[in-house]
Amino acid sequence: MPGISSLRRFLVDSVEQEPVQEVCELCATPVPPQHPHLVQVAERRMLCACGPCGFLFDNPGAGGGGYRRVPDRYLSDPEFRLTDAQWDELQIPVSMAFFLHNSAQGKVIACYPSPAGATESELGLESWATGLGAGRLAAALEPDVEALLVRRDKAGSGAAGSAEGLLVPIDACYRLVGLVKLHWRGFDGGAEAWHEIDGFFEALREQARPVPPATGPEA
């Protein structure tokens, strides 16, 4: 019975997690694993795009539908500082979080990865402006499509209170959230999860360039 054997093959394939062919969510063209992403700003939804559709939205303000292309720059700031008091005020239960401007709501949103996915809380604009938002990475952030990713040193490693900040495309944060969701075990995540997280941050650092000095009154 060919019907049953092909059904069985289909089930086996699904269990083995054969990679699904991703398609452009605007024109349905199949896309390679590395492809542009767009953000639908009002709905805060991320879409996969093919090269030509991504190109359409390259310029801010171009195209319709409220889409913005996710850039592919990674910036680091060797002078990034975050005090214990600033971090405590954020009340984030894990040692990493990312922050983005939501232009539709005119708010800064703090998110952190958790086993259940991304958890978010709104940030008071004053505490943002005087804390994390005062740094050079925050000043360079593009709304909706880039995030300030912050990681605190785990207890026992390095100087207490030290933190790292990176400006990353928002799709990198989605990857981090997916990683945590997949590998996190128990209360503290477990060795495997932290191995994955360390590797993820290592790869970001390798791609990151130092943030250029602030220029002009608009920066």
Q: Which residues bind Zn ion (CB under 5 A)?
A: 24, 26-27, 29, 48, 50, 53
Nearer to Zn ion, 50 or 167 (CB): 50
Nearer to Zn ion, 26 or 123 (CB): 26
Helix (H, G, I), strand (E, B) or coil at 140: helix
Nearer to Zn ion, 67 or 87 (CB): 67
Distance CA 55, CA 52 (A): 5
Q: How far is the CB of 102 from Zn ion (least distance, A)?
A: 21
Cα angle, residue 217 at apex, residues 78 and 148 outer, rounded to 5°? 35
Q: How far is the CB of 179 from Zn ion (least distance, A)?
A: 15
Nearer to Zn ion, 169 or 189 (CB): 169
Q: Per DSSP, which regions of the chain are E strands?
A: 37-40, 45-48, 67-69, 75-76, 96-102, 107-114, 117-123, 146-152, 163-169, 209-210
Q: How far is the CB of 79 from Zn ion (least distance, A)?
A: 33
| Helix-, strand-, coil-residue percentages of the chain, each rounded to 5 | 35, 25, 40
Provide long-range contacts, Cβ within 8 A and 24+ apart, for 57-62. Answer: 60/142
Nearer to Zn ion, 21 or 157 (CB): 21
